[in-house]
Amino acid sequence: MNSTQVERALAGEITPQIKQLACNENLTQELVRERVAQGRIVLLHNAAHADVVGIGKGLRTKVNASIGTSTDIVDVQDEVSKAQAAQAAGADTLMELSVGGDLDQIRREVLQAVTLPVGNVPLYQAFSEAERKYGDPNRLDEAMLFDLIERQCADGISFMAIHCGINLYTIERLERQGYRYGGLVSKGGASMVAWMRTHGRENPLYEKFDQVVAILKKYDVVLSLGNGLRAGAIGDSFDRAMIQELLINCELAEEGRKMGCQMLVEGPGHVPLDEIEANIILQKRMSNGAPYYMLGPLPTDVGAGYDHITAAIGAAQSARYGADLICYITPAEHLALPNTADVVEGVKAARLAAHIGDLSKYPDRPRSRDLAMSKARRDLDWPGQFQHALFGDDARRIHEERSPQCDSDVCTMCGEFCANRASNAIFERTLKGSAKA
């Protein structure tokens, strides 16, 4: 059986993936190897393509985009287009989360359509298949579930969000708490809780965690410990049920790593801005530094229609305090299945958030791109501005659509009263002569 990246790193091997990541992120190969061995960096790649994506300590904060059909809207070509649009807009990873249509076919088409590492949530297909086969999702049996996980791994899935941390003790915490403003907002989590209640049994993904790990290890798929009881309302942030699941997931992250599997831990959800730092400290301490995959978070519940902005505010804060992978949110969040335009908006908002977070996460690193942009702005260097902007094509389009009527180096915002032009004329030497970079 092939060894995983963790096992190879522990044996002292600098794998081709470690070499590539060290080069991409300007780190030494030995540092990356050490962090992969410690479980503080995970390596993902789409089996059909050479590029590797690293998530974890000391790396650029990455952005995930999620796409997938619903039970109401099934258009495979549309999902393929969304996947490609997410990649073109700069997503680092993709999650294929379809629940409607031929789920094997959709997964395989999306895997072929992009070079990004693709993740998924096996419980979606597992409960869908039980519903189709028996007319009741609660008739899902363990053999079906584990067979399905292996089938998805064999197709080339790079990381799987698996809800191992929901157990009978977690559910007891939820029940004893006796309230929740947002209820359960995870599809996989809610379905697993229903299954456990129906059968009066432990979650097989928790009970047979070693079996889950063994399957993922066989394909070196990263196990992302799903956040089934995440807060779906800021009023539920840090409630006992959510923290209990996080604690178990952090414990499992360590166990999985000791078994040689690459591990991620997932986080909420809806979290007030002032609680994000504490959430990340808890996860990092309890998991011994496992990479943290934050779903947003959304720091308010009232942003419907603009939740890509709400989430970007939370994501910048979470990246700043140490989140390693940010799941984007689209303007359609809580309202409808996102379309391609929503996907693009969501990816761009999350990329900006990750960049802003990284500026403060790594204060000692040169802020070259921001400084180059500042100078280009000061100097009215429009091509320079389009080159350094994160979304240069959008910036160029807006500038050119509303350009001055006469030939001018300023823009139509201030026109003849352009502050940059005026100050350049007055302070040519003093402002430009003392540049730090």
Sites of contact with ligand SF4 (CB under 6 A): 410-411, 413-414, 418-420
CB of residue 415 vs ligand SF4: minimum separation in angstroms? 6
CB of residue 303 vs ligand SF4: minimum separation in angstroms? 28
What is the SS3 assignment for 418? Answer: coil
Rounded Cα distance between 173 and 238, Å, is 12
CB of residue 385 vs ligand SF4: minimum separation in angstroms? 9
| Closest to 116 measured CA to CA, from 89, 94, 88, 86 | 94
CB of residue 420 vs ligand SF4: minimum separation in angstroms? 4
Measured CA distances, 347 to 21, 114, 147, 271 (Å): 22, 15, 33, 20
Measured CA distances, 148 to 151, 262, 326, 432 (Å): 5, 20, 27, 62
Cβ proximity to ligand SF4: between 253 and 376 the closer is 376
Cβ proximity to ligand SF4: between 50 and 414 the closer is 414
What is the SS3 assignment for 271? Answer: coil
Cβ proximity to ligand SF4: between 179 and 417 the closer is 417
| Cβ-based burial of 27 (10 A; exposed 0-12, middle 13-18, buried ≥19) | middle
CB of residue 426 vs ligand SF4: minimum separation in angstroms? 14
Cβ proximity to ligand SF4: between 48 and 413 the closer is 413
Give the contacts of 299 (CB within 8 A, at least 6 positions apart): 234, 270, 271, 272, 273, 276, 310, 313, 314, 317
CB of residue 370 vs ligand SF4: minimum separation in angstroms? 17
CB of residue 424 vs ligand SF4: minimum separation in angstroms? 10
Contact between residue 172 and residue 245 where contact means Cβ atoms under 8 Å apart: no
Cβ proximity to ligand SF4: between 281 and 413 the closer is 413
| Cβ-based burial of 364 (10 A; exposed 0-12, middle 13-18, buried ≥19) | exposed
Cβ proximity to ligand SF4: between 305 and 383 the closer is 383
Extract long-range pairs of 239-243: CB within 8 Å, 24+ residues apart: 239/177, 239/180, 240/173, 240/174, 240/176, 240/177, 241/170, 241/171, 241/173, 241/174, 241/177, 241/180, 242/268, 242/269, 243/282
Rounded Cα distance between 222 and 253, Å, is 11
Return the H-helix or E-strand segment holding 64.
strand 62-67
Cβ proximity to ligand SF4: between 16 and 392 the closer is 392
CB of residue 163 vs ligand SF4: minimum separation in angstroms? 49
What residue has token string 């456990």? Answer: 196
The partner residues of 159 in beta bridges, in order of sequence, read 119, 222
Cβ proximity to ligand SF4: between 23 and 413 the closer is 413
Cβ proximity to ligand SF4: between 64 and 385 the closer is 385
CB of residue 161 vs ligand SF4: minimum separation in angstroms? 44
